[in-house]
A and B are shown apart, each in its own frame.
Chain A
Amino acid sequence: MSAIEPSIVLQREIRSEGIIPEPKLSRKIVNIIRQVTDIERYCNGCGTCTLVCPNEAIEPEYNPQHKFIFHKNTGGYPYRRGGRRNDPEPSTLDHLKFTRISMLTDPALDAGRHEFRIRTYLGRILPPEELPLKIENGKLEISRVAKRFMPPVREIYPVMIGSMSIGALSPNMWEGLAMGVTYLNEVEKMPVVMASGEGGMPPRLLKSRFIKYFILQIASGYFGWDEIIRAIPHMVDDPCAIEIKYGQGAKPGDGGLLMANKVLKLIAEIRGVPQGVDLPSPPTHQTKYSIEESVAKMIQSMSMAWGFRVPVFPKISATRTAKAVLNNLLRNPFAAALSIDGEDGGTGAAYNVSMDKMGHPIASNIRDCYLDLVRQGKQNELPLIAAGGIGKKGNVAANAAALFMLGASVVAIGKYVMQAAAGCFGDEMNRCNVCNLGKCPRGITTQDPKLYRRLDPDKVAERVVEVFKSIDVELRKIFAPLGRSTDLPIGMSDALCADNAAIAERLQIGYVC
Chain B
Amino acid sequence: MCRLVAITSNEYLSPMEGVLALETMHEGHDGSGMGLILKNLGGEFSDFKNHPILSGICSNEGLRILDQFMWDAGFRIKYEWRPVLKPVSAIKKRDHYFAKVYEYPDEHINKSLQAKEDLLLKTRLALRAIGENNQSIIVFSFYPDVITIKEVGDPLQLSEFFGLTDSRLKSKIIFAQGRQNTNYDINLYACHPFFIQGFGSMTNGENTAFGPIKEYLMSRGVMGYAGYNSDSEVFAHILHFTMRQLGYPLQYYKDIITPLQASEMERRLENAVLTLLKASLRPLCIDGPNMVIGFTPDGTCFMVHDSKKLRPGVVGGTKGKMVLVSEECGLDSVVPDRDHSLDIFPMKYDMVIVSPGAEEVRVWNQLYGWTTTIN
A494 touches B210 (CB 8 A): yes
B312 within 8 A of A: no
Q: Which of A131, A133, A376, A483 contacts B287 (CB 8 A)?
A: A483
Q: Which of B1, B211, B216, B248 contacts A493 (CB 8 A)?
A: B211
B211 touches A139 (CB 8 A): no
B211 touches A486 (CB 8 A): no
A133 touches B273 (CB 8 A): yes
- Residues A120-146 near B (CB distance < 8 A): 121, 125-129, 131, 133, 135, 138-142
* B211 closest partner in A (C-beta): A494
Question: In whole angstroms, what is the CA distance A128 to B278 when docked?
Answer: 10
9-residue interface stretch from B83-91, B139-147, B201-209, B295-303:
B201-209
Question: In whole angstroms, what is the CA distance A117 to B261 when docked?
Answer: 8
B113 within 8 A of A: no
A486 touches B280 (CB 8 A): no
A141 touches B270 (CB 8 A): yes
- Residues A100-122 near B (CB distance < 8 A): 100, 102, 105-107, 109, 114-115, 117, 119, 121
Within the complex, what minimum Cβ distance (angstroms) separates A283 from chain B? 35
Question: In whole angstroms, what is the CA distance A384 to B205 when docked?
Answer: 31
Within the complex, what minimum Cβ distance (angstroms) separates A111 from chain B? 13
Q: Which of B219, B220, B249, B283 contacts A140 (CB 8 A)?
A: B249
Set of chain B residues within 8 Å of A140, measured between Cβ atoms: 248-249, 252, 270, 273, 277
Set of chain A residues within 8 Å of B252, measured between Cβ atoms: 140
Q: Known contacts being A153-B279, A374-B215, is A486 close to B307, with CB within 8 Å?
A: yes
* Number of A residues, CB within 8 Å of B: 46
Set of chain B residues within 8 Å of A319, measured between Cβ atoms: none
B289 within 8 A of A: yes
Question: In whole angstroms, what is the CA distance A117 to B221 when docked?
Answer: 29
Question: In whole angstroms, what is the CA distance A489 to B208 when docked?
Answer: 9
- Residues B173-208 near A (CB distance < 8 A): 182-183, 205-206, 208
- Residues B211-261 near A (CB distance < 8 A): 211-212, 215-216, 219-221, 246-249, 252, 258-259, 261
B281 touches A485 (CB 8 A): no
B209 touches A484 (CB 8 A): yes
Dominant SS among interface residues on chain B: loop
Q: Which of A129, A141, A489 contacts B212 (CB 8 A)?
A: A489
A495 touches B205 (CB 8 A): no
- B-contact 0/1 string along A366-408, CB 8 Å cutoff: 0000000011111110000000000000000000000000000
* A105 closest partner in B (C-beta): B206
A258 within 8 A of B: no
Question: In whole angstroms, what is the CA distance A434 to B262 when docked?
Answer: 44
B320 within 8 A of A: no
Q: Which of B183, B215, B221, B272 has the most CB of A within 10 A?
A: B215
Q: Which of B206, B277, B285 contacts A487 (CB 8 A)?
A: B285
A102 touches B288 (CB 8 A): yes
- B-contact 0/1 string along A285-307, CB 8 Å cutoff: 00000000000000000000000
- Residues A459-513 near B (CB distance < 8 A): 482-487, 489-495
Question: In whole angstroms, what is the CA distance A484 to B206 when docked?
Answer: 11
Question: In whole angstroms, what is the CA distance A422 to B276 when docked?
Answer: 40
Set of chain B residues within 8 Å of A378, measured between Cβ atoms: 219
Q: Known contacts being A131-B276, A491-B211, A494-B210, is A374 close to B287, with CB within 8 Å?
A: no
A237 within 8 A of B: no
A155 within 8 A of B: yes
B308 touches A492 (CB 8 A): no
* A381 closest partner in B (C-beta): B280
A376 touches B219 (CB 8 A): yes
B249 touches A133 (CB 8 A): no
B247 touches A489 (CB 8 A): no
* B247 closest partner in A (C-beta): A135
Q: Known contacts being A126-B280, A483-B208, is A115 close to B308, with CB within 8 Å?
A: yes
A106 touches B288 (CB 8 A): yes
Set of chain B residues within 8 Å of A485, measured between Cβ atoms: 287, 307-308
Question: In whole angstroms, what is the CA distance A27 to B281 when docked?
Answer: 84
A486 touches B209 (CB 8 A): yes
* A139 closest partner in B (C-beta): B270
* B205 closest partner in A (C-beta): A106
B338 within 8 A of A: no
* B310 closest partner in A (C-beta): A107
* B257 closest partner in A (C-beta): A486
Set of chain B residues within 8 Å of A125, measured between Cβ atoms: 279-280, 282
B211 touches A492 (CB 8 A): yes
Question: In whole angstroms, what is the CA distance A482 to B279 when docked?
Answer: 22
B residues touching A (Cβ–Cβ < 8 Å)? 1, 182-183, 205-206, 208-212, 215-216, 219-221, 246-249, 252, 258-259, 261-262, 270, 272-273, 276-277, 279-283, 285-289, 306-308, 310
What are the 9 A-B residue pairs with the smallest beta carbon separation, nearest first? A106-B206, A483-B208, A377-B219, A494-B211, A483-B288, A487-B285, A491-B212, A140-B273, A486-B287
* Listed A/B pairs (6) with beta-carbon separation below 8 Å: A102-B206, A105-B206, A115-B307, A133-B273, A140-B248, A495-B211
